[in-house]
Structure 1
Amino acid sequence: MVFRNISICKIVFVCFFITLNINFVLSNSDTDLSNNAMSLQVDVKNTKEFKVNFIPIDYTNNISNFIISAEKNIEFINVTYPLANGKFIYGISSKEFFSSNVGDTLDSLEEPILLLRLYRFSRLGGQDYDRVVGIVPMNWLNQHKSNGSGFTYIGMNSVLIEDNFRHGAAHEIGHTIRNNLGIGFFGLCDESNSDIWKFKQDLLIGLCPNGDSNPNDGELDSECQRTPNGCNITTLKRLVPWPQDQQNDEITMWNFMGDSGFEDSRWISEDSYNYLLSKFDEESSIQSGNTILISGIIYDDNSVSFDKFYILNENSFINETYSYGNYSITLKVNNSIFYNYEFEPIFKMIHTGGDTTDTNITPFVAVLPFADNVTQIIVQNSTTILAERNVSANTPTVSFNNSFQGESYNDSFMITWNADDTDGDNLTYAVLISDDGGNNFTTVALDIDETNLVIENSLLENGSEFKIKVLATDGVNTGEDISNFSFSIEPDPFIDLIYPEDDIRLQTNNVTFFYRTTVLDGNITNCYLFINGNLNLTNDSEIVQGVVMNFTQSFSDGEYNWTIQCVDTNNFVGESELYTLDIGLVIPEILEINVYPDTQEFLENVTINVTLAYPTDVVLVTLNITNPNGRVYEYYNLSNISFGIWGLNNFTDNVTGTYNFTFFAYYNGGTYVKESSNFMMVEEIINLTKCKELDKENTTYYLTKNILASGTCFNIHADNITLEGNSYVIYYAESSQGYGIYVDGYNKTKLKNIRIRMDNSTTTDSVGIYLRNGENHLIENNEMVIRGSNLSDSRNHGLKLKNVINSNVLNNTINVLNKKGYGVYLESSNGEITSNNKLINNTIVTSKDSGYGIYIWGVNGGVSEYSTILGNMIKTYGSTSYGVLIQQSTPSLVRNNLFENNFISTSGANSNGIKIISSQNNFFKNSNISSSKDNDVLISSGTNNTFLNTSYIDELISSGSLIRGWYLNVYVNNSVGNNTIGANVSGSDVFGSLDFSELTDSNGQIPTKSLAEYINNGGAKTYYTNYTINVTKANYENASQSANLTTNLNLIFTLESTILPNDTYKFYIKDSLGNNVSWFGSEGNIVLKGSCFAQSTCITNDGSSFIIGNSTDTTTAFINSIGDLCIEKGDCGDLSPACNNPSNDAFIIKNSSSNVAYIDYNGDLCLTGGLYENSNP
């Protein structure tokens, strides 16, 4: 059955960033940033050392991305943090093997555990780092369904950031630089959101040290909350080591404690600088003696889970543990206290917008003094012992089974050890590795139970001074063994590609490839250049390690990939990264178009910019603009503003509406590219300082401060009104029922960048944004937090659309914290139509009972249909709270809605991820649905609701029907692995019905098929799997597979050639020894010893090929000495109905009456017979 297409916590600090390349600069510490506008003279004072270790997390390859990111973050800290020369000490632990152990979703329990493991992993290596920064690959957090680009946790000295931004470590570490007296839980506060800032201010004694130029008002400065977020700074351009577009000597920057991007404009503000300086100026307390690493989790019911403790082999450490709070870790010697450390756990999590939610765990970790006579370790609060661990009498013993003497490892290797504990305690192990003969170690495994470990050497560099350490702990006492002898790591030869750079275009057909190669304890015997996977050249000169070598080759215009392999004297083969290369004229490309501002007032300037690829080859850039009345402003010749960017800075007009424009970019060689876009101009832009009626058509209104209304704040009474919030807050329904923004009967409303709050505990029926009876609205980048009454029927929703069509709801965050409050409510009644609306990339959370994430309802003859819900994250926490509820009440129609790429979860009782009542033809695809306490999907009635490639565990269909299906991909090749073109692939379900029949393309594939696994009709499932997939092609044996389609499936078919033809007359092609490698026959058949390849360029260098060339003597096709056929045009298809006279000169095979085959001088193949590959001609 084939689907038919349907038209239709803790406290976590989160930040968003962008990364650009930078150069390394070191700094001294300036004790007063306020003098920067006047002079480069600075007062330099001494500071204590600050040590930071950078560790890669979940890097299976591309470790260079981690190293680059660590270096960029180090440089940013170096030039902004107030640390004297030599006092910022850092480690880049590229040899660490740290796995996050996180599944598909990074939830609120895993975040603190991950940071705890990260700190223990780093600290176990014996380096007394002040902070640990874990770096994950770009988009890692998004892939694990978490927001932002980094986070940290109260009380932890570890942070996590993604590898795609420069100031992430400085930002997250800034939160952790706390008062040494333990007063307050935060260091620097976020400077992007007043609610978050105030929340942290409330937790501090001494208030937030940054973001408030007037501490008497207790408010985050308003300018700190404006794009790009972060308090602004004026400094000297020459102090900033990365490039600046600003032309003045004094430039405006923004403090790194903001949460947006604008990397090149990030610096440090005076209050942040002075606060950090006061912390780095404090003396450190050096403790002598043994130390112990103690850690675990405290739950909100005051239960405690201990980790395994490790005694560290250190003689001294810097005591910078903040000891303050109602909880303590106590080390006792019999009945006497040896050491007591106080702390305060926090059980709260911060959501976007500053709202808090209780969480049930918090981690703790401390490195404390230890002595051999300690007998007990206790965690307690002010009244009760929560957990205790007794220290047994004996230390475990451990010894290696490996000798390591003279060993050299090229691949992964296993180490094993024996361990024993006289007390009979269960033992846990940690494994560390050193590459400098045992002077310094880094952790490779933590808390393992087995007495063996396989070490992958892919992250280890060549070396001969490696040693292994294993620690064995019984929970406290820790024994260790270090390998007596060093061993070598000798990976495959390493090849560094120097030129051409990856993904580059060259306008020359003669290319020299530069590379260098090295290997440990051996020599390189040969290196090879591979082009598009085929061996192209072999090095013909002596290869000197570490010296730049090269290959030179000629190419036709086209796209290529290339790599180099080298072999050493041990026959180890190393291969470089795979690079791509374009040869030929520049392909013009417009990368980006920007308009600022959009919208603009009459007679005010609009700036229009275009960013172009290959800017050095651009000859001319022009711009045409057409105003709403049709007047064309033609051929502005644009100026090059900066590298790659051309623009017009002063366009203005006085006509309301949409202005369409087109860029034309002309390049060397006569090529050009064009692209169009548009912007708006309106009669007036009005600044708002209070709630009011907005009634001027074609006008943009700007919020300039936080505002408050007793009931409704804004009534919009005109078409084409834009309300730009500038991240200010609308507080509405403060004392009576009302709406944040209400639009009834008007069109083209744009609501952008507004923060909407409602917190009246008695108010009901008060919606954040309510649109009715209109069309073509845009709701974008807004943030709503709707609290209100705790009555069972509050109906305080985030966003409601009623009788609204063709409107877009994009990138909003909606939190609803009242009973029967819906995140987004699409309603139609009494003949109304709510249709063709799009909800894209929104985050929707409801926290109370009967709170639905999205509710689509038609009642009393209303129609709700054809909405697109795409890329949203929807979470509900209350009972009887559905992620999505779709409900149709007769005689209404609710149908044909598309849900794609959504993540939907519910955790309350009687709550389903999806619930459908009487609705039909809704289509769910590529989504994840989960309900922890009820069925993921519930259909009480309604037909033809389809779930394609949508993950969930259980469903209940009490009435109506559900279709569940998956994707099928089919790939066909021949017996030597080459793509098979023109093979017929057909599929039939378990009932024998033919569902599809397709021919494979040049990649050997057919279009992805969407097939049903089963139809659930009222609880009875009819299965359409297993499917029978058949593949046929002339001259090949038929193939068939059975496909059990219970998830997405990829099938591979390998076809075997059938019996060869025997044409009456044959034209043979032979190799240099006289052996047949191919023949063309009089019946139009070709038999090849090798395979046929259709590619953009055919180059052969074996000296004995049969070559077809064009008028310029350029090879366009050949059959080489191993029987491979290469053609540059068309494909390797056969069985053409006729091969009449070609349009160009050609190599032709004909019988007595007509052509039966040819290859023309463009490399185009025509066959009336069959093509037989990998045969014996």
Structure 2
Amino acid sequence: MACDYYSFYYNYILLLNLQNYYLFFHKILEEKLRMVFRNISICKIVFVCFFITLNINFVLSNSDTDLSNNAMSLQVDVKNTKEFKVNFIPIDYTNNISNFIISAEKNIEFINVTYPLANGKFIYGISSKEFFSSNVGDTLDSLEEPILLLRLYRFSRLGGQDYDRVVGIVPMNWLNQHKSNGSGFTYIGMNSVLIEDNFRHGAAHEIGHTIRNNLGIGFFGLCDESNSDIWKFKQDLLIGLCPNGDSNPNDGELDSECQRTPNGCNITTLKRLVPWPQDQQNDEITMWNFMGDSGFEDSRWISEDSYNYLLSKFDEESSIQSGNTILISGIIYDDNSVSFDKFYILNENSFINETYSYGNYSITLKVNNSIFYNYEFEPIFKMIHTGGDTTDTNITPFVAVLPFADNVTQIIVQNSTTILAERNVSANTPTVSFNNSFQGESYNDSFMITWNADDTDGDNLTYAVLISDDGGNNFTTVALDIDETNLVIENSLLENGSEFKIKVLATDGVNTGEDISNFSFSIEPDPFIDLIYPEDDIRLQTNNVTFFYRTTVLDGNITNCYLFINGNLNLTNDSEIVQGVVMNFTQSFSDGEYNWTIQCVDTNNFVGESELYTLDIGLVIPEILEINVYPDTQEFLENVTINVTLAYPTDVVLVTLNITNPNGRVYEYYNLSNISFGIWGLNNFTDNVTGTYNFTFFAYYNGGTYVKESSNFMMVEEIINLTKCKELDKENTTYYLTKNILASGTCFNIHADNITLEGNSYVIYYAESSQGYGIYVDGYNKTKLKNIRIRMDNSTTTDSVGIYLRNGENHLIENNEMVIRGSNLSDSRNHGLKLKNVINSNVLNNTINVLNKKGYGVYLESSNGEITSNNKLINNTIVTSKDSGYGIYIWGVNGGVSEYSTILGNMIKTYGSTSYGVLIQQSTPSLVRNNLFENNFISTSGANSNGIKIISSQNNFFKNSNISSSKDNDVLISSGTNNTFLNTSYIDELISSGSLIRGWYLNVYVNNSVGNNTIGANVSGSDVFGSLDFSELTDSNGQIPTKSLAEYINNGGAKTYYTNYTINVTKANYENASQSANLTTNLNLIFTLESTILPNDTYKFYIKDSLGNNVSWFGSEGNIVLKGSCFAQSTCITNDGSSFIIGNSTDTTTAFINSIGDLCIEKGDCGDLSPACNNPSNDAFIIKNSSSNVAYIDYNGDLCLTGGLYENSNP
């Protein structure tokens, strides 16, 4: 890349015989560059050997139009670098593979313009055809993370490309969805990383951790620049020093400027060097080093110390030549046990020497008693996440590509004293051959390959399968470590082509045989159909519709196309189909809702199908799509714009609006203007009353139909822009942050009701030199704090809370981000958020990181007889990193009452010792009770730490949550009664005093012997003691409401089990059924009921099929017997010419019994045993005995039976 530094530029010329000037001019150039790049980020000053004429024109000098007198010729010192190869692989992309490709391209661009690699030496691959699945469940735990990275590297490396690093990219929010934090991670010693696809500098960041010193110095490579504690931890762990982030290496501290938002050391560089757009207007712009956090993607660059460190590691390496190489990998556990993966011999004859001269562990390849090759390394049991979080694990992966020879007899992993594992090399190589011929094959869908394999030594074989789309020049791994000799290949990720080949590797653990298909085969797609008109989900007011489409197919012709309406074949094309030309079908419809699709068949009989579109025919149904108000909130006498977006805008006749202000005054019937297609609005409303304004839109359409919808907005007295910390004391006012601000102590004191502080994602730095709060509210109500970033970095401060609310109600804390550092004293009490004696307040979608000892994420306190109640904490991420840190702490002291708070959908993690995900504590005579915890993920990893700890609190309810503590009991109750854990996953509990109820969900479904839902069956359940817990009737779906049942009650450590439960099902005319349910997790029970002996009514009305066979009868005792089943549904339509039909006054069918004995009714249900069937409300088909009606089906399709309904019987 050619870089234009200031007005520094160069011209290539050819110079000869200047060797004598080399040293002199090298020093001049070095000094000139140092001057030009002082305090300016370096951009790719890695020069491939060339001669240049150097022209320098400094920006601060006067302009000189004669550039010829400034020229100086010299030979540049050559700094070549090694090749650096990176492969990008999609993980868990079931669709939207384009997001992966875009992300890979952005990461490649970032590395290409920041990493110090010579021209052409950054080599990358985008493996969009990889079939890689994470195989991770709902939660990605600390054991699965390193195994995932190990699989990723082996998967990529096996393809035959000698990649230095492998980057796995997962969809956005994948880590959060799998209960993990950050936007990426890597493992110390691994050459693979994982990032999310919205993280442009993610690959550069995570790879930076992996570029280590081959002397063993710097296990982490580049260190994270976001947290001084984590940076210092890594600094202390390393034999050397963190190579970045400390401008004064003598003090051994991360520079304070690197820790401020957006984290990462700041850099001044030239705007024109950055290839992505910038909001900053100056030629010189401020950026931040990519070793900071994720986020602020457009403002990331590379700092000088990071650049210099990487440059020192990208010297040209010496490849080691070898007859063969072998991929060796496995897991080392913290007890020094080792498990080996299957090894694979690679078809490569050289490898990069990355062994360390420092390391207490080694992989040794031996030929009998002689050492063939020795590779030293040092395992470290830590995982690194973006942002610097370093998680302890009890396993560490290892992987290496090493030289191999046919006479190697043994492979050993050992530490300095002990052989930990060994694998002997057997004498013979497995043989493998395909069963498929592949010659002339063309695959349109998934296809199976099979092979035969044999090993003379009788070893168990494992296989890897690879695919090539270029005739075998390059292969991509499809499957790894499979045991079967067949594989189904899904071709959904394969582009069409005719040069595909398959390779199978068979390993006995070391020796590896292979077979490559002799012939190429083709991947051909189904015909592609592009639907042009009508558009999807559209309403047409014409009954004659022409459907336009076009179709194409590779290497073939289209023979026919078909229109399907509501799943049924409607029309066949009756003219020649020309590929790429718009074709059509025309059909007439009655009013209604339809779905349609088109299928086309090609000369290979491959069938392609278009997307499924929906279509409405008939009059417009009015619909309001969206309502927008802005600004919301607005100042008095300033304009508010209110817009409505309508469906079918061409059919809109009139749109009106009325508005009611907080005093009840109504502004009626504004006639609105159509301001753009589909949008009507009012843009000049104003008033001077504080509070909520309610409004309603009325939209009138052709045909006399209309629709209305209501919403509201706020108006306040004043909106004020803030550029510094101050007291906020104007009631009904919105304050806006317009820049980052800083306070020596407290930043904002709020001294009025109904104040909104909108942060606009700016940062409040507080307690910079003394105790204080980011925001403090005492005795006021209705405070709204939104979109604020709050930071506290003072290493000596105590008792400094990010947001502290006291003695108020109806507050809102939403979308804020807090990072609270502070003192590491044993009792620093620097919390993220504290609510004391606060009620009816909401804490929503905040991220809180507390990085000091005895710092709490969220602290709910009640004291001195006051109440903290009915507060909601929803969808927050809360992390504490030091000892005695609590994620959420609910405490009542000195007679305070803390109750009825809802904690919903939060992710809570603590890492220090004696730390709790949630601590609930009641001190006499206070009360802490009746708090609900639902859908939370809570984990702790420190010693003496619990996911949940309860002291003297009662009636708290935990449901649908996951709780874990890696080093202590997941749940600890030292005292407190009636605390319930329903459908909450955890492993162990300790109840030293008090009680815990643990329960699960039970679902019951009842059907009959032919699989139809059974309505009105009685389902009852009794516990192990025989006590009846429930009795319910099944609904039309054959189900009862979900039941919550106790597994056991743990009272002071003694468990009383209520399982097994006995579940009984009864229904008239069916055999009773019963099951025993061992409720140790959620259960879904299915009961299938068998019919009992049929009734034998004295008189019967028979319904027969066309052959005269009985399919049903109605009896004089009010019974009905069906050969089939009864169905209650909205429409009963039959094309069966032998049906017994009930119709209404317009001859529309409302009920029938067809020729297979099925009964369909449009009203009511299929219930029986009614107390009476007298006086139907409409005309009806009636069965009666000598005195009264015993059954009927009326003309609306309603069934009444005084007897029983017998299905699937023999009438």
Q: 1:1022 to 1:674 in 2, by over 3 A?
A: farther
Unmatched 5+ residue regions in structure 1?
Answer: none
| Aligned counterparts of 1:22 and 1:1139: Cα–Cα separation in 2 | 104
Q: 1:1090 to 1:760 in 2, by over 3 A?
A: same
- Per-residue deviation, 1:1034: 1.9
Q: Secondary structure, in 3 states, of the residue corresponding to 1:73?
A: helix
- Per-residue deviation, 1:347: 10
Q: 1:825 to 1:1084 in 2, by over 3 A?
A: same
- Per-residue deviation, 1:707: 1.9
Q: 1:477 to 1:100 in 2, by over 3 A?
A: same
Instruction: Encode CA deviations 1:1018-1046: one digit per residue, 9 max, x unaligned.
Output: 22222221212121222222211111111
Q: 1:304 to 1:1080 in 2, by over 3 A?
A: closer
Counterpart in 2 of 1:60? Answer: 94
| Aligned counterparts of 1:906 and 1:573: Cα–Cα separation in 2 | 54
- Per-residue deviation, 1:877: 1.6
Q: 1:254 to 1:390 in 2, by over 3 A?
A: same
- Per-residue deviation, 1:336: 16
Moved more, 321-330 or 1069-1078: 321-330
- Per-residue deviation, 1:88: 14
- Per-residue deviation, 1:279: 17
Unmatched 5+ residue regions in structure 2?
Answer: 1-34
- Per-residue deviation, 1:353: 7.1
Moved more, 180-189 or 816-825: 180-189
Counterpart in 2 of 1:378? Answer: 412
Instruction: Encode CA deviations 1:220-264: one digit per residue, 9 max, x unaligned.
Output: 999999999999999999999999999999999999999999999
Residues 954 and 976, structure 2, Cα contact 8 Å, conserved in 1: yes
Q: 1:800 to 1:248 in 2, by over 3 A?
A: closer
- Per-residue deviation, 1:1138: 2.9
Q: Secondary structure, in 3 states, of the residue corresponding to 2:379?
A: coil
Q: 1:316 to 1:2 in 2, by over 3 A?
A: closer
User: Are 2:601 and 1:576 equivalent residues in the alignment?
Assistant: no
Q: 1:1048 to 1:349 in 2, by over 3 A?
A: closer
Instruction: Encode CA deviations 1:1112-1171: one digit per residue, 9 max, x unaligned.
Output: 443332222211122222222222233343333433333344433333333222323222
Counterpart in 1 of 2:936? Answer: 902
Q: Secondary structure, in 3 states, of the residue corresponding to 2:316?
A: coil
Q: Secondary structure, in 3 states, of the residue corresponding to 1:277?
A: helix
Residues 264 and 293, structure 2, Cα contact 8 Å, conserved in 1: yes
- Per-residue deviation, 1:306: 8.7
Instruction: Encode CA deviations 1:395-421: one digit per residue, 9 max, x unaligned.
Output: 665556899999999999998878788
Instruction: Encode CA deviations 1:598-630: one digit per residue, 9 max, x unaligned.
Output: 322223333444455676776655443322222
| Aligned counterparts of 2:1092 and 2:295: Cα–Cα separation in 1 | 61
- Per-residue deviation, 1:742: 0.9
Q: 1:323 to 1:257 in 2, by over 3 A?
A: same
Residues 892 and 928, structure 2, Cα contact 8 Å, conserved in 1: yes
Moved more, 786-795 or 353-362: 353-362
Q: 1:98 to 1:646 in 2, by over 3 A?
A: farther
Instruction: Encode CA deviations 1:90-128: one digit per residue, 9 max, x unaligned.
Output: 999787543313243224564455345334323423467
- Per-residue deviation, 1:946: 0.9
- Per-residue deviation, 1:681: 1.9
Moved more, 493-502 or 878-887: 493-502
Which of residues 581, 585, 608 is equivalent to 1:547?
581
| Aligned counterparts of 1:4 and 1:86: Cα–Cα separation in 2 | 27
Instruction: Encode CA deviations 1:304-356: one digit per residue, 9 max, x unaligned.
Output: 99976655446999999999999999999999999999999999977787878
| Aligned counterparts of 1:32 and 1:985: Cα–Cα separation in 2 | 98
Q: 1:424 to 1:722 in 2, by over 3 A?
A: same
Q: 1:46 to 1:613 in 2, by over 3 A?
A: farther
Residues 716 and 743, structure 1, Cα contact 8 Å, conserved in 2: yes
- Per-residue deviation, 1:477: 6.4
User: Are 2:525 and 1:491 equivalent residues in the alignment?
Assistant: yes
Q: 1:955 to 1:362 in 2, by over 3 A?
A: closer
- Per-residue deviation, 1:634: 3.0
- Per-residue deviation, 1:442: 3.5
Residues 3 and 1011, structure 1, Cα contact 8 Å, conserved in 2: no
Q: Secondary structure, in 3 states, of the residue corresponding to 1:160?
A: strand
| Aligned counterparts of 2:557 and 2:346: Cα–Cα separation in 1 | 42
Residues 917 and 938, structure 2, Cα contact 8 Å, conserved in 1: yes
Instruction: Encode CA deviations 1:8-54: one digit per residue, 9 max, x unaligned.
Output: 99999999999999999999999999999999999999999999977
- Per-residue deviation, 1:861: 0.9
Q: 1:981 to 1:816 in 2, by over 3 A?
A: same
Q: 1:869 to 1:655 in 2, by over 3 A?
A: same
Identity of paired residues, percent? 100
- Per-residue deviation, 1:450: 7.7
| Aligned counterparts of 1:1053 and 1:28: Cα–Cα separation in 2 | 92
Instruction: Encode CA deviations 1:441-479: one digit per residue, 9 max, x unaligned.
Output: 432322457878787899899999986533245777644
- Per-residue deviation, 1:1174: 0.9
Q: 1:434 to 1:1151 in 2, by over 3 A?
A: farther
Q: 1:982 to 1:866 in 2, by over 3 A?
A: same
Counterpart in 2 of 1:150? Answer: 184
Which of residues 1, 6, 13 is equivalent to 2:47?
13
Moved more, 35-44 or 1077-1086: 35-44
Matching of residues 1062-1101 of structure 1 within 5 Å: 1062-1101=1096-1135
Counterpart in 2 of 1:193? Answer: 227
| Aligned counterparts of 2:373 and 2:41: Cα–Cα separation in 1 | 69
Instruction: Encode CA deviations 1:141-196: one digit per residue, 9 max, x unaligned.
Output: 33311357777789988775778999999999999999999999999999999999
**More relative contact order, 1 or 2 (CA 8 Å, 6+ apart):** 1
User: Are 2:61 and 1:35 equivalent residues in the alignment?
Assistant: no
- Per-residue deviation, 1:762: 2.2
| Aligned counterparts of 2:1120 and 2:37: Cα–Cα separation in 1 | 41
TM-score normalised per structure 2: 0.72
Q: 1:561 to 1:328 in 2, by over 3 A?
A: farther
Residues 53 and 74, structure 2, Cα contact 8 Å, conserved in 1: no
Q: 1:795 to 1:985 in 2, by over 3 A?
A: same
Moved more, 581-590 or 950-959: 581-590
Q: 1:174 to 1:1117 in 2, by over 3 A?
A: farther
Which of residues 946, 960, 964 is equivalent to 1:930?
964
- Per-residue deviation, 1:790: 1.7
Counterpart in 2 of 1:674? Answer: 708
Q: 1:551 to 1:975 in 2, by over 3 A?
A: farther
Q: 1:529 to 1:262 in 2, by over 3 A?
A: farther
Counterpart in 1 of 2:1074? Answer: 1040
Residues 171 and 256, structure 1, Cα contact 8 Å, conserved in 2: yes
Residues 493 and 567, structure 1, Cα contact 8 Å, conserved in 2: yes
| Aligned counterparts of 1:31 and 1:330: Cα–Cα separation in 2 | 67
Q: 1:736 to 1:150 in 2, by over 3 A?
A: closer
Q: Secondary structure, in 3 states, of the residue corresponding to 2:598?
A: strand
Q: 1:182 to 1:909 in 2, by over 3 A?
A: closer
| Aligned counterparts of 2:38 and 2:1101: Cα–Cα separation in 1 | 50
User: Are 2:667 and 1:633 equivalent residues in the alignment?
Assistant: yes
| Aligned counterparts of 1:24 and 1:1175: Cα–Cα separation in 2 | 99
Residues 16 and 261, structure 1, Cα contact 8 Å, conserved in 2: no
RMSD: 10.8
Which structure's CA Rg is the greater one? 2
Q: 1:826 to 1:954 in 2, by over 3 A?
A: same
Q: Secondary structure, in 3 states, of the residue corresponding to 2:257?
A: helix
Residues 48 and 284, structure 1, Cα contact 8 Å, conserved in 2: no
- Per-residue deviation, 1:303: 13
Q: Secondary structure, in 3 states, of the residue corresponding to 1:443?
A: strand
Residues 462 and 507, structure 2, Cα contact 8 Å, conserved in 1: yes
| Aligned counterparts of 2:871 and 2:47: Cα–Cα separation in 1 | 34
Q: 1:83 to 1:301 in 2, by over 3 A?
A: same
Residues 490 and 520, structure 1, Cα contact 8 Å, conserved in 2: yes
Counterpart in 2 of 1:259? Answer: 293
Q: 1:1129 to 1:737 in 2, by over 3 A?
A: same
Instruction: Encode CA deviations 1:545-600: one digit per residue, 9 max, x unaligned.
Output: 99999999999999999999999999999999999998987766555544333322
Counterpart in 2 of 1:518? Answer: 552
Moved more, 441-450 or 884-893: 441-450
Moved more, 1076-1085 or 986-995: 1076-1085
- Per-residue deviation, 1:831: 0.7
- Per-residue deviation, 1:1082: 3.0
| Aligned counterparts of 2:260 and 2:51: Cα–Cα separation in 1 | 16
Q: 1:91 to 1:787 in 2, by over 3 A?
A: closer
Residues 24 and 75, structure 1, Cα contact 8 Å, conserved in 2: no
